Amino acid sequence: MKKTKIITISILGLLLLVPFMTPTVAAPASYVPVAEEETYLWELSQYNTNFAQFFADNMSDVIATIFSQPIIWQIITVYTGWSWDSITPQSSWPLTVKAILPENTSTFLLPDYFIPDNITHTPVYLGSGYNVLHYPAASTFYDDTWYIVNDTASFAKQSLFGGTATSPYMIMGVPFGPKNINWTEFVAVANGGMGGGYWTGDAVNTTVTALSDGYSLSVPISGYGSNTLPITINVSYNANSILDNYTFQYGALTLFYYELVSYEADGVNPVTTSPSDFAVAHDYTGESISWTATDANPGNYTIKRDAITVVTPTPWASGTPVTYNITDGLAEGASYTFEITFSDAYGNSVSDSVVMTVTVPDTTDPVITSAPSDLVVAHGYTGQSLSWTATDANPGTYVIKCNGTLVVVPATAWISGTPVTYNIPDGYEPSVTTYEITFSDVIGNNVSDSATLTVNPATTPPGIPGYEPLIVIGITGIASICLIIFKKKKR
């Protein structure tokens, strides 16, 4: 399991790019390129045999120093996490848009990245994580918040002036850019940051160049001091400003390739409530079942009774209850399964079943087969209880009351033949307390039983015969006088 720990530790660094937030519903701003329930999937390939010269030149440490990378983002961490697997791609990285949050303007890049600008941005709450393709047990998933900024210059800053491209785990922190990125403007801002406006030292030897759909970083031999080969990093975003692919090369050798491999306009199933199963009398009327489902793109629902369709495809609205009125007169002594299936406009679906049992005519009260005796306890008692057992073909609920009115156990389901135990609170003062239990079946037939708890007063220990206080005092006094007389006679 060691490799599991390495992978987990490596991935935790991504959380630093995406602070936690609580999701709420909000209409997206015009620059936001994603919609709720969209699902994206990237794959990461690491070419283990191509790293020899890169590590010989100590480039992981060098790049980490130049770009202030914490260990969890460094290339050595990425490499270590996946070096056990030589089959590419080693991992896939899904993002599902769960909620688009309210737009905000703040210095959100200041605390972690020391970029003080007020930037307008939209937080997006995502289902995230990673699949370990050749060791699925190590896959991990979580929910978190990413940010989409509103313009090209802000995106260049969010990309740390190109610095996020220096590690696969860093580029994962900016999967979405604003719509209509101007890559020429992006590169101008990024080169300003590389040239001393943000990064310092050998970062100045990094050239950021605009591509038709992204940007590239290039570093000449010795540009980072010890690199014996040039460094080339290419980052591309698709027409919707979604990260499309990322390549990190050392010389002619590719170290990492990260690419978008799939997209679903709606990858999320509807969510539905799940009513409880229930029982009805043999002469029931007017029974119904109600479900409420939510989805960004609702479609149709169907309902079946015992696998036979009773409601054909019918449109439904997100958050609006769907109520099915059950036919009166279904045969008694049988159970009926009602299954609803909610589908959305993209074919995702969710189903839920409710069982209704029609009971046979029942005019028989439950029978209490075991009842407790009244209790008499001493003052200061502890750990007392009462236990009843009842039987019935259609058990329902029981209630326990104290002294006729105070409900100490509200309606609670019971099982025929299974004891029901009530633990009496400690500490009653001398008194008589009555506990009454009522067992009801699902039809409403019931039976009651009561037991009392008598708490006796505290008792005072009896005195020792002949040692009443006045007598003891008198005897003590006489003894003292006799002792004095005795002493005088001896003189």
Are 143 and 123 in contact by the 8 Å Cβ rule? The answer is no
Cis bond before residue 462 (omega within 30° of 0)? no
* Chain mean pLDDT for the chain: 90
Dump pLDDT digits (tens) for 424-438: 999 999 999 999 999
How far is the C-alpha of 19 from the C-alpha of 482, rounded, in Å?
Answer: 93
Are 372 and 436 in contact by the 8 Å Cβ rule? The answer is no
Dump pLDDT digits (tens) for 188-216: 999 999 999 999 999 999 999 999 999 99
Q: Do β-strands 395-402 and 406-413 pair in parallel, antiparallel, or remain unpaired?
A: antiparallel
Of the candidates 149, 158, 148, 171, the one whose C-alpha atom is nearest the C-alpha of residue 217 is 171
> How would residue 359 be classed by pLDDT, with cut points 50, 70 and 90?
confident
Are 110 and 116 in contact by the 8 Å Cβ rule? The answer is yes
How far is the C-alpha of 34 from the C-alpha of 84, rounded, in Å?
Answer: 35
Dump pLDDT digits (tens) for 162-181: 999 999 999 999 999 999 99
Burial class (CB in 10 A: 0-12, 13-18, 19+), 467: exposed
How far is the C-alpha of 59 from the C-alpha of 166, rounded, in Å?
Answer: 11
How far is the C-alpha of 249 from the C-alpha of 233, rounded, in Å?
Answer: 6
> How would residue 477 be classed by pLDDT, with cut points 50, 70 and 90?
low
Q: Angle of helix 75-82 relative to helix 2-12, nearest 10 degrees? A: 150
pLDDT at 26: 45
- What is the arithmetic mean of pLDDT over 436-451? 94
pLDDT over 80 (residue 488): no
Q: What is the dihedral of CA 291, 294, 300, 304, to 10 degrees?
A: -30
Return the structure tokens found at 321. 């209850």
Q: How many CA atoms lie within 13 A of 377 on its CB side?
A: 23
Q: Which domains does the chain have, with CATH numbers?
A: 2-264 (no CATH), 271-358 (2.60.40.10), 367-455 (2.60.40.10)
Dump pLDDT digits (tens) for 304-357: 999 999 999 999 999 999 999 999 999 998 999 999 999 999 999 999 999 999
Are 191 and 167 in contact by the 8 Å Cβ rule? The answer is no
Of the candidates 173, 214, 208, 205, the one whose C-alpha atom is nearest the C-alpha of residue 190 is 208
Dump pLDDT digits (tens) for 92-130: 999 999 999 999 999 999 999 999 999 999 999 999 999
DSSP state of 242: B
Q: Rounded to whole angstroms, what are the CA distances from 73 to 9, 13, 245, 333, 458?
A: 10, 6, 18, 65, 72
SS (HEC) of 109-171: CHHHHCCCCCEEEEEEEEEEEEEECCCHHHCEEEEEEEEEECCHHHHHHHCHHHHHHHCHHHH
pLDDT over 70 (residue 153): yes
